[in-house]
């Protein structure tokens, strides 16, 4: 951020807001990575995850707004100092970081982890939570990748700095907050509303036998050649929503994956009966 002609106040504000966003990104990814932790999974463990996610979701609009204001101030000074940068057509598509490998939750799918804590597998798989977690995780991982890739001052072209900061701000303030944390529409609730619904369902006992029966029904539909319902396999499998573009698999792939869902739930049932 040390562009010499930019004021110290603008640089300091941007560094502070980027650092705060980076801390929140690390926290979000670590929170999911260690869940449910070494203790015996129970509804209380799921409640703690929901509490932590809700608190994070309450902080992020402030963090995103702070980053937007700081970025606008910083880029505004760049515009004033470097008039040719403002009109550079390559600016919008240029960033300072290299290829981003993407993000996926390592280990068991989220729906299975929550099932271990007593949450209905079906409720999680049919909610937006897996899709939201994957999408937010991708944004947070990209933010950390960008921060870790920042070169020394004067190495990257100014248009890469300009384009990269604009993209990060747009990811948070233009997508994360209005489309993932808040409700996009009644049909597409955000993280807070989705967690509230799952928390309410957590209070009702959810027999694993019911989840197994439901998963077997989904598998049977595929074997019978029946078409997927509008929410799609990609919206339910392992509670994933993790396929790029939410594309639903078909044919043998779908049958294998739903078979994996049934097997995972049956193994969990056997473990609990010992």
Tens-digit pLDDT string for the chain (274 aa)? 888 789 999 999 999 999 999 999 999 999 999 999 888 889 999 999 999 999 999 999 999 999 999 999 999 999 999 888 877 776 667 899 999 999 999 999 999 999 999 999 999 999 999 999 999 999 999 999 999 999 887 788 889 999 999 999 999 999 999 999 999 999 999 999 999 999 999 988 899 999 999 999 989 988 766 554 433 333 444 443 334 444 555 577 888 888 999 999 999 999 876 5
Residues 36, 59: Cα–Cα separation, whole Å: 22
- Predicted local confidence at residue 27, as pLDDT: 98
Q: Are 142 and 28 in contact (CB under 8 A)?
A: no
HSE (CB half, 13 Å, CA atoms) of 217?
A: 9
The stretches of 35-118 forming alpha helices (DSSP H) are 43-81, 83-86, 110-116
- Predicted local confidence at residue 196, as pLDDT: 97
Please give the structure tokens belonging to residue 210: 């019911």
Q: Are 274 and 161 in contact (CB under 8 A)?
A: no
Please give the structure tokens belonging to residue 84: 């040719």
- Predicted local confidence at residue 63, as pLDDT: 98
185-191 long-range contacts, CB within 8 A, separation 24+: 188/128, 189/128, 190/132, 191/53, 191/57, 191/129, 191/132, 191/136
3-state secondary structure of 185: strand
């Amino acid at each position: 951020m040390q562009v010499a002609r930019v004021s110290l106040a603008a640089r300091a504000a941007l560094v502070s807001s980027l650092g705060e966003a980076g801390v929140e990104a690390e926290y979000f990814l670590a929170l999911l990575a260690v869940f449910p932790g070494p203790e015996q999974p129970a509804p209380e463990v799921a409640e703690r995850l929901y509490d932590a996610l809700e608190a994070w979701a309450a902080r992020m609009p402030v963090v995103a707004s702070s980053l937007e204001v700081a970025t606008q101030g910083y880029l505004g000074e760049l515009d004033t100092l470097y008039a040719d940068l403002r009109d550079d057509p390559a600016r919008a598509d240029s960033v300072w970081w290299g290829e981003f490998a993407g993000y996926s939750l390592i280990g068991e799918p989220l729906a299975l982890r929550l099932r271990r804590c007593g949450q209905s597998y079906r409720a999680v798989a049919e909610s937006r939570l897996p899709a939201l977690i994957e999408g937010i995780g991708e944004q947070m991982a990209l933010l950390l990748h960008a921060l870790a890739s920042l070169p020394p001052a004067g190495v990257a072209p100014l248009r890469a700095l300009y384009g990269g900061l604009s993209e990060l701000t747009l990811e948070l303030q233009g997508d994360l907050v209005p489309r993932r944390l808040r409700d996009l529409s009644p049909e597409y609730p955000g993280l807070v509303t989705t967690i509230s619904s799952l928390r309410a369902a957590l209070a009702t006992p959810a027999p694993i036998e019911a989840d197994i029966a439901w998963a077997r029904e989904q598998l049977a539909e595929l074997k019978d050649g029946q078409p997927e319902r509008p929410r799609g396999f990609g919206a339910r499998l392992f509670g994933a929503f993790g396929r790029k573009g939410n594309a639903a698999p078909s044919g043998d792939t779908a049958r294998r994956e739903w078979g994996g869902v049934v097997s995972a739930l049956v193994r969990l049932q056997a473990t609990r009966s010992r």
